[in-house]
Every structure is written in C-alpha cells, then in structure tokens.
Amino acid sequence: MNKRSSWALPYFIFLLLFVALPLVLIIIYAFQDGSGHFTFSNITKFFTDGDALGTFALSIEVAIENTLLCFAIGYPAAYILADNKLNRSAVTVVLFILPMWINALMRTLATAELFNMAGIPLGKGTLLFGMCYDYLPFMIYPIYNVLKKMDKSYAEAAQDLGATPSQVFLKVTLPLSMPGVWSGVLMVFMPTVSTFAISEFLTNNKIKLFGTIIQENINNSMWNYGAALSLFMLLIIGVTTLLQGDDHAEQASGGII
C-alpha cells in the first residue's frame, strides 16, 4: 500500500508553486530595485524611514495589547464555557464562534458606526476595542477546546493532594491549558499585526498600521519596497511561530465545525 504516499505528490507540487515559491519571491523582490538589480536599498530605506518604523512599532504594540486584552477577557469565558457545572449548553459555545463566520469588514464597519452613534471619538481606544471584538472568538475557541478535553482527574488529584481551588487553577489547570492559550495567542496576534482595512475603518484613517503601509506600496506599484516590508512581517511571524513551537495551527483550526 506504499504507493499511496505518492498521492501527496500533486499537492506537494502545488505547495511548492503557490506557497514556497511566492515566499521566496518576497525575499527576491525585497533585494531588487525596480529594474531587477540586486540592492539593499529597500532594507535601508525601511530603517531610515521614520514613518514606516513608527508604524511598525505601533503595529506590534497594538497587536500585543490586543492579544493581552483578548486573553484577559477570553480565558474566563473559555473556562466558564468548558466547565460542566457552570455551562451545560453547547449552543452557547456555538454563539461565541458564530461571529467568526460573518464578514469581518461588515462587522467592523458596524462597530465603527456604533462608536459613532455613542459619540465615542474614533482613535486608538476604539481600534483596540474593535479589534478585540473581531478576534475574541479566536482566543476563546482554542482555550475552550483544550479545557474541555482536559482530564478532570488532574484537578481532582490536585485537590486530593491538598490544593485549594485557586491553587488547583494556578498549578494545574492553567499550565495544562497553555497549548490552547498559545494557539489563541497565535490566532489573535498574527492577524492583528498584519491587519489593514480594519484599522482604517476603526480609526477613520487616523491610525495607520503596518499592513496598510504594505498595501499602499503594493498598490502604488512600489513592489520591491512592499516586498521588503512584507519580509519584515514574515520575520515577526517566523519568530512568533518558532517561539511557540509546533502544531498550534492544527490545534486551533481542528473541529471548528
């Protein structure tokens, strides 16, 4: 039955062409000038461009803040949803996932309108809250999944050994749920750091994030500089992914339906 392994071949070629090669192209274009000659100028341009550097830093800052906010709000929610004593209804869980399936741009526009109606000026505050709306389900779901599958006897064993409820949580439940937390962090941090349309809508174009700069350069045919900026974003992604280790992508995406 070994021949079955050759079934991976078409997809392997597909992945090389549509995933690996495009990423290599980002690197190649980043080190080329408009006429295809090798150059470092795109890289040096980024480091001397105060605007781009500032936006880069701001994007990372916003992404970190948003991730922390989602974690602070999402973890208790995931915990409650996963606890049989506190929540017996699977429908509640579905209700949390449901907004993920609604067009994010439309949701964001509606959020911005809500702020407008409430008379809250659009700015960094609304940006953070708006993004938290958008990405909270991505934090809740993986944590919920891990907590739900966790063997109850761990907590019982800890209690049996004399741990108080808060000790049980801090010393057993929380450490064991870390894989879910990491996938949640990954699923919130990555899109936030790279977002572009959403930030424009939520701040009425007052705050530009790094994604917007990439998009503007690509749209204005500055492909090489755009590629260089994308390369920096790839670096952040690479570092974040490496820091978190292996299979979180699978964990996070498995079984949303």
- Tell me the chain's radius of gyration from C-alpha atoms: 22
Cβ(96)–Cβ(107) below 8 Å: no
Q: Which residue in 86, 55, 85 sits closest to 193, CA to CA?
A: 55
Stretch that binds another protein, among 50-58, 97-105, 152-160, 173-181 (CB under 8 A): 97-105
Instruction: Identify the residue among 70, 82, 131, 136 touching another protein (CB under 8 A).
Output: 136
Instruction: Identify the residue among 5, 35, 48, 153 touching another protein (CB under 8 A).
Output: 5
Q: Minimum distance from CB of 250 to another protein (Å)?
A: 6
Interaction residues for another protein, span 153-192 (CB under 8 A): 186, 190-191
Stretch that binds another protein, among 40-48, 53-61, 78-86, 144-152 (CB under 8 A): 78-86
Looking up tokens 């749920």, which residue turns up? 177
Stretch that binds another protein, among 7-15, 48-56, 147-155, 167-175 (CB under 8 A): 7-15
How far does Cα 104 stand from its chain's mean position?
A: 14
What does the buried/exposed string (b/e) look like for 183-211 if buried means 16 or more CB atoms within 10 Å of the residue's CB? Answer: bbbbbbbbbbbbbbebbbbbbeeebbbbb
Instruction: Identify the residue among 60, 73, 150, 163 touching another protein (CB under 8 A).
Output: 73
Decide whether 14 or 40 has the Cβ nearer to another protein.
14
Confirm or reject binding of residue 95 to another protein (CB under 8 A). Answer: yes
Q: What are the two backbone dihedrals, phi and then psi, of residue 32, each rounded to the nearest 5 degrees?
A: -125, 155
Q: Which residue in 53, 198, 236, 231 sits closest to 122, CA to CA?
A: 198
What x-and-dash track marks residues 98-117 binding another protein by CB under 8 A? xx-xxxxxxxxxxx-xx-xx
Q: Minimum distance from CB of 185 to another protein (Å)?
A: 12
Torsion (CA) 80, 81, 85, 91 in degrees, nearest 10: 150
Q: Which residue in 144, 150, 139 sits closest to 182, CA to CA?
A: 139
Q: Which residue in 102, 169, 166, 155 sits closest to 133, CA to CA?
A: 102
Stretch that binds another protein, among 39-47, 53-61, 96-104, 172-180 (CB under 8 A): 96-104
Stretch that binds another protein, among 42-50, 144-152, 168-176, 245-253 (CB under 8 A): 245-253
Confirm or reject binding of residue 148 to another protein (CB under 8 A). Answer: no
Interaction residues for another protein, span 217-236 (CB under 8 A): 218, 223, 226-227, 230, 233-234
